[in-house]
Amino acid sequence: MTTDARIASLLRLHQRLEQELADALAHKSTHDSDIKKLKLRKLAIKRQMEKLRLPD
């Protein structure tokens, strides 16, 4: 997988997590720990994308 393809894949995953997070926040019954897990996964994906975008 090329770097551009990997970044595109991570971007799609990041967007999906963003939607999951929005859905979770919309439901009052969602536990704070679940929201925290989603936020941490989203942040990890963002960091991976940033790392791939940096020149070697």
**Positive or negative torsion for Cα 30, 34, 39, 41:** negative
In a domain, 18, yes or no: yes
Predicted local confidence at residue 14, as pLDDT: 97
Q: What token pair was written down for 40?
A: 């941490």
CA distances from 6 to 11, 22, 45 (A): 8, 24, 11
Work out how many domains the chain is built from and give that number: 1
In a domain, 7, yes or no: yes
Q: What token pair was written down for 13?
A: 């995953």
In a domain, 19, yes or no: yes
Predicted local confidence at residue 7, as pLDDT: 96
Nearest-CA neighbor of 26 among 17, 37, 35?
35
Show Cβ contacts of residue 1 under 8 Å, excluding neighbours closer than 6 positions.
9
pLDDT, one tens digit per residue, over 1-27 is 899 999 999 999 999 999 999 999 999
In a domain, 55, yes or no: no
In a domain, 28, yes or no: yes
pLDDT surpassing 70 at residue 56: no
What is the span of the domain harbouring residue 12?
3-50
pLDDT, one tens digit per residue, over 29-51 is 999 999 999 999 999 999 999 99
